[in-house]
Amino acid sequence: MDQFLFEFPDLPEGDSGRQRACGCFVPALDAFLAAAGEGRIALLQPRSEGRWENLKGFTYHLEPELFLQAQGGCQFRFPHQELELHPGDVLLVPPGMPHRERLNNYGGRPFHNFVVMCSAQSASVHLAGALHPEERTPGVYLRRKLHDPTFYQHLIAALGAWQDHSGSDCETIRLRLLQALLLKLRDDLGRHPEPVAATERWEVCRISRLTQLAKEYLDENFPSRFPSVPEVARAVGCSPNYLSNLFRRDQGVTIKEYVNALKFDYARRMLEHSTFNVSEVAGSCGFNDVSYFSRKFRERFGINPSQIR
C-alpha cells in the first residue's frame, strides 16, 4: 500500500536498538488503525490448497500467524500460490499452511513486519526485521508477550472464517474484526511501553524464570525442530542437569516428557487434517520406531493412531 504512512527508523543491533524498536510498536499500530479506518488496508489470506503438506524448505505452525507489514516488502510462497506484502498489508496464514518468505526492499526501505502468534495458552507479537539491506530471510528482533490469549485466538479464528464469504457486508465485518484486534494489540503494548528483558518476559509467579524461558524456547522452535535438553539449557544459560531438575519441579514432568507431549499433540492434528500415513507422521515428529510411536500414542489418547481416520 503506497499510502501507508509509517517509516521505520534504522535499528542497530544491541540493547539501544531494541529500546528504539520497542518504541515503534504503538506508532506503527496507530498507522495500521488509521489505514483500516479509511479503508486503505488489504487483508490477505492464502487459498486453502496444500494445508498440512510436508514440503521440503517450507515451514508451518499448529496455530495461525498474522503478519502486519510495516516497511519494505516480503514475498510469501505457499504450495499453490504466491503473495507479496507491501507496507500496510496484513496477511493471515492459517494453521498448517506451509510457507516460506523472501524479503525485499520495497520502496527502497529495509524489511520490517510484526507477527502475532497465539494459542489458548499464550500470545505474543514479535518484530521481524532485516538489519542489513542485502538480507533476504527475516530475523526476530524483539518479542513481547500479550495478555488475554483466548481473545486473540478467537478473533483471529473469526478473521479466517470469513475468507470464503463475499459481498460488501462481509468485507465490512472482516475490517471491523481486524480493527478490534489492532485496538487490543495497541492497548496491550501501550500499557507496557518499556521493553521487557529476556529473563523477565514471563510474569508467572511460583514458576522459575528458567523454566518459563525453556518453555518459550521450545514453543518458538516447535514444530520446525525439536531441541535437545543440552541445547535448551545453553539457550537459557544453565547446565542440563540443573534445568531438568528445575523444570520437573515446576511442571511435574521432565523436559523430554514435555516435548513428547507436544509431539503427540502435533501428531494427532496431523492425522486429523493431513493425508500422511502413520509412518510418515511418526517420522515427521522425530520417531523412527513406528511401533514405539503407536504404543505411546495409545497410552496418551486411548486409541491407536490408525483409528484417528
Residue 197 gets which letter from DSSP? P
> What residue type is 64 in one-letter code?
P
Domain map of the chain by residue range?
15-196, 199-307
pTM above 0.75, yes or no: no
Q: Report the pLDDT value the prediction gives residue 285, as an integer from 0 to 100.
A: 85
Q: Give me the DSSP letters along 14-66.
A: SHHHHHHHHTTHHHHHHHHHHHHHTT--EEE---STTTT---TT-B--SS-EE
Residue 108 gets which letter from DSSP? G
Q: Report the pLDDT value the prediction gives residue 89, as an integer from 0 to 100.
A: 95
Q: Report the pLDDT value the prediction gives residue 132, as an integer from 0 to 100.
A: 67
Mean pLDDT, contiguous 10-residue spans, the chain (309 residues): 69 64 85 90 90 77 88 93 94 90 87 86 81 71 81 91 71 90 91 46 48 81 81 88 87 86 87 86 88 93 87
Q: Report the pLDDT value the prediction gives residue 13, as an integer from 0 to 100.
A: 62
CATH topology of domain 199-307: Arc Repressor Mutant, subunit A (1.10.10)
Q: Report the pLDDT value the prediction gives residue 303, as an integer from 0 to 100.
A: 92
Write the CB contacts of 152 (distance below 8 Å, at least 6 apart in sequence). Answer: 116, 118, 123, 146, 181, 184
Q: Report the pLDDT value the prediction gives residue 181, as an integer from 0 to 100.
A: 95
Q: Report the pLDDT value the prediction gives residue 201, as an integer from 0 to 100.
A: 36
Q: Is residue 68 within 8 Å of 113, Cβ to Cβ?
A: yes
3-state helix, strand, coil in the chain (%, to 5): 45, 15, 40
